[in-house]
Amino acid sequence: MLIKYLFAKNEDIPAGSSSVFFGFSAIFWFVVGTGLGSFNAAKLAFPDWVTGTEMFAFGHMRQVHVLAVILGWISMAFAMTMMYMTPALGNTKLWSEKLGLWNAFLWNVGLSLGLFLLWMGITSGREYSDIIWPIDIVVMLGVLLPLGINVWMTIAHRRTQGIYITNWFFGACTFFILVVFAVGQSPELFNLTGLTEAYMTFWFAHNVLGLWITPVAAAIAYYTIPKLTGNPLYSHRIGHLHFWSIVAFYSTPASHHLMSAPLPEWLKSFASVEGVLILIPAVAFVANILLTMKGKWSLFVENIETKFSVTGVLLAIPLNMQGGFQQTRAINWYIHGTGWIVAHAHLALLGMSTFLEIAAVYFGLQQILRRKLYSLALANFHYWFVLIGFCIYWISMTIAGLIQGAGKIYEVPYIDVVVAEHPYMIARWVGGTMVFTGNLVWLYNMYMTAREGTVVPAGRYAHEMAYER
């Protein structure tokens, strides 16, 4: 469908095409990623379920799940929102739809290739940087750089005086991710070894969250919530406090991921203090959005996009409270390396940022396609399955992590910890499977929206119209 525009003239490509390409790719990768997550979780609960085949071994699939979700779903949904929000906020058109389409195309090709090789065991053996360096170069030059160029040029060619906070985030974060990715892959490119490699791996893992996933997800909410409620953002100035404190405080605490490794002590202490300061942008963001909702809280119940968006913001509260304090030495020694961290990571990616993105993808696709959402019932099904599935996952893994932490400090034989965790492993699989089911329904719902959704008349928003199903 959209492939035909790859070789069209830029003027002939309908506005929003790249956004649609990115949007459907993102949902597709979300289904793939959560499907793999559910499969992997089943293997942790029932180790003899599918066994003895290299291709279906846990160790070959775990990293495919992680990267399909981070690079496929989360990052492609970010690109999708950038492709329609950046021009809308600059009162202009996307700098190049054609570049956007090629970007989405290369992204899918590069990611498929990288994940296929990972699945085969062709890996660099570095967590979150598992993809081998030749494909890393493709990602840098074929994926991240074109995305950045499109965003920066659209902002530079804007027809407004100021820059709205969302675009501040978009412009800066596309630059950050390029730098962070290049630095993070440098151990492979330049054969840096030892603690340098270990530290750089987690410098990347930390900053990909801190300078890409969390801030861009928050930036999306700065657009969707005012748009859906009709309220102006409570305070643009608090938005800037959020922005600048992210740059200052979130880019520094990388070594709090390695609190028990023999890194320099000054570095760990510095990281720990900076890690608590992350609460400043966190509180600024949550307060700003919730105050924007003033007088429109009924939409939290009535409007599906607002429901997703506000849920994501509410999930940011426990996320940041955990994140700010669990990395201090006083708490980290107990929960380091346990299921607690797994639960926290899913709270960030499957909780906060995924909910904010789902809202933006629902909203954006309806706007660009000029179609009303096919079915509200299916969308509500999606909401509740993802939310309940996530909560089951999060709560069960938190409990499992506390059991593990207790087992660790009281020196319980490890196998007893495995036995004690078994029920929570089953719960984790049930939760993950619910999320996967919800996403399958979402993919169907969005596909039917594109095909059969009621046409939205010019000058109207999709969320202003009544549902027919």
Partner 1 sequence: MSFQQHKLGAAAVGGMLGLSMTITLMFPSFDFRSAESTWVGLDKSISNGRVIGFSYEDPTVVGANKPITVILDKDPKTGEKIDPPMRAYVYEPGVPFAAAIRHPANTGPTVSQLSLNVGKMAEASEAQGAVFGIGRGEVNGKDWDYIQNLTALKGWTPTDTLRAASEENTRYVGKGKTVYITEGCWWCHTLLPEQTQDWQVFGAPPMLGDFNGEMPTAFGSDRKAPDILHVASRNSSREWMNMHFFNPRLVQPNSIMPRFDYLWGETDVHGNKIDFDKWRAEYKEYRDGVRVYPPEIPEYAGNSEARALVDWILTSLK
28 burial via Cβ count (<10 Å: 0-12, 13-18, 19+): middle
The residue within the footprint of partner 1, chosen from 141, 156, 291, 455 (CB under 8 A), is 156
Q: Which stretch binds partner 1 (CB under 8 A): 1-9, 156-164, 223-231, 316-324?
A: 156-164
**Token pair 């598992």: residue:** 130
Does the protein bind partner 1 through residue 452 (CB under 8 A)? no
Ranges within 401-440 binding partner 1 (CB under 8 A):
404, 408-409, 411, 414-415, 418-419, 422, 425
* C-alpha–C-alpha distance, residues 179 and 135, integer Å: 16
Which CB atom, from 120 or from 321, has the smaller least distance to partner 1?
120
Does the protein bind partner 1 through residue 52 (CB under 8 A)? yes
Does the protein bind partner 1 through residue 215 (CB under 8 A)? no
Does the protein bind partner 1 through residue 189 (CB under 8 A)? no
Half-sphere exposure of 99 (CA within 13 A, CB side): 19
Which residues, 6 or more positions from 11, have their beta carbon under 8 angstroms from its beta carbon? none
Is residue 178 within 8 A of residue 148, CB to CB? The reply is yes
Does the protein bind partner 1 through residue 179 (CB under 8 A)? yes
Q: Any idea what DSSP says for residue 371?
A: B
Ranges within 220-249 binding partner 1 (CB under 8 A):
244, 247-248
Does the protein bind partner 1 through residue 325 (CB under 8 A)? no
The per-residue DSSP string of 406-458 comes to HHHHTT--HHHHHHHHHHHHHHHHHHHHHHHHHHHHHHHHHHHHHHHSPBPPT
Does the protein bind partner 1 through residue 57 (CB under 8 A)? yes
* C-alpha–C-alpha distance, residues 365 and 374, integer Å: 12
The angle at the Cα of 387, spanning 383 to 388, to the nearest 5 degrees, equals 115
Does the protein bind partner 1 through residue 371 (CB under 8 A)? no
Which CB atom, from 110 or from 187, has the smaller least distance to partner 1?
187
Ranges within 94-123 binding partner 1 (CB under 8 A):
121-123
The residue within the footprint of partner 1, chosen from 155, 219, 368, 399 (CB under 8 A), is 155
Does the protein bind partner 1 through residue 341 (CB under 8 A)? yes
The residue within the footprint of partner 1, chosen from 175, 300, 325, 444 (CB under 8 A), is 175
**How many other β-carbons are positioned within 10 Å of the β-carbon of residue 52?**
7
Which CB atom, from 370 or from 408, has the smaller least distance to partner 1?
408
Is residue 103 within 8 A of residue 147, CB to CB? The reply is yes
Ranges within 244-273 binding partner 1 (CB under 8 A):
244, 247-248, 251-252, 254-255, 257-258, 260-264, 267, 270-271
Does the protein bind partner 1 through residue 48 (CB under 8 A)? yes
